[in-house]
Structure 1
Amino acid sequence: MAVQRILATTAALTLIDQLKQLHGPLMFHQSGGCCDGSQPMCFAEGEFKTGSSDVCLGTIAGCKFYMAADQFEYWKHTQLTLDVTPGRGSSFSLEIPLGVRFFIHSKIFTDEEMNDSCTIGE
C-alpha cells in the first residue's frame, strides 16, 4: 500500500467538515507564492484554477490537495500533515473569517516510504 503524501489532524478534519457545510465541496492549494509563502489555502472546489504546473498530492476528507510543481520539488521528500491553529492568516482561504488558519507539519520520508509514496496521476 502506498504511503500517503498528505494527511490531516483531527482538528483539520473537523474544520474541513465545518467549511464543507458552509461552502460545499472544497479543494486545497499550497503555492510558493508571495502573499502567504507556502501556507495551504482552502477554496470552494473549482474556485482556484489548477493547471499543468500543479501536482495533486492526494485527498483529505474528499478534498483534493494541490501544490505548485516548483514547490513540490522542495517538498517531494516529505509527508505533509494539514493542521489548524488559532490566528488570522493574510490569505483568501475560507477558514480565515473563523479566526483560524491551516498550516503544515512535515516529516522527511524514510527511503522505504519514499519508494512507496504516491501522488494522484502516477
Structure 2
Amino acid sequence: MVTRVDVTPAAAGMMRQLRDQHGPLMFHQSGGCCDGSSPMCYLEGEFRTGKSDVLLESLRIEGVPEPITFWMSASQFELWRHTHLTVDVVPGRGAGFSLEAPEGVRFLIRSRLLTSDELAELSA
C-alpha cells in the first residue's frame, strides 16, 4: 500500500512518548514560517485545520491507540504533491512550537519523489 507519509523507528518512538505524556497527536507540515519547513507536532485539534489544509495521512503507530494525522496547507501540497515524506527525529531544538522541543530533539522531514507507479496508485 502506497503512503504519502512514513515515519522512522526513532520518530515512532518519540511519537509514543509524546502520546503517553500529552494525549492524541497531530502533525502539520510547516510551510516555512518560524521553524523552516519542519513537521510540527501538536495535540490533536490544537492546530486548527480547514478547507485550506490537506490531510496527507492518518499514521498508525504501534503502541498508539489512535491514528496520528499529518496535514499540510493546500498551497504547499500543490508544490509537494509528487513527494513522499518520511518523518524522522534528530538531536537539537526547533523553534519551540512543536511538542518534542522540551525533549531536546526535533522532528524533520526526509523526502523523495514518488514514482510514477506510486502516483498512479495514489490517484486511483
TM-score by length of 2: 0.90
**Rounded Cα–Cα distance in structure 2 between residues aligned with 1:34 and 1:22:** 27
What is the deviation of 1:107? 1.1
**Alignment partner of 1:39 is 2:52:** no
Aligned to 2:117: 112
Aligned to 1:82: 87
**Rounded Cα–Cα distance in structure 2 between residues aligned with 1:16 and 1:38:** 19
Deviations 1:68-119 (A, max 9, x none): 111111111011000000000013100000000000011101111111126x
**Alignment partner of 1:58 is 2:29:** no
What is the deviation of 1:20? 0.3
3-state SS of 2:19 partner: helix
Deviations 1:51-73 (A, max 9, x none): 10100011222100000111111
Identity of aligned residues (%): 57
Deviations 1:5-26 (A, max 9, x none): 0000000000000000000000
What is the total number of aligned residue pairs between the two structures?
A: 118
3-state SS of 1:49 partner: coil
Structure 2: gaps of 5 or more residues: 62-66
State whether residues 29 and 66 of structure 1, in contact with CA within 8 Å, keep that contact through their aligned partners in structure 2. Answer: yes
What is the deviation of 1:37? 2.2
Q: Which has the higher contact order (CA 8 A, sep 6+)?
A: 1
**Alignment partner of 1:70 is 2:75:** yes
3-state SS of 2:26 partner: strand
Aligned to 2:64: none
Runs of 4+ in 1 over 4 A off after TM superposition: none
TM-score by length of 1: 0.91
Structure 1: gaps of 5 or more residues: none
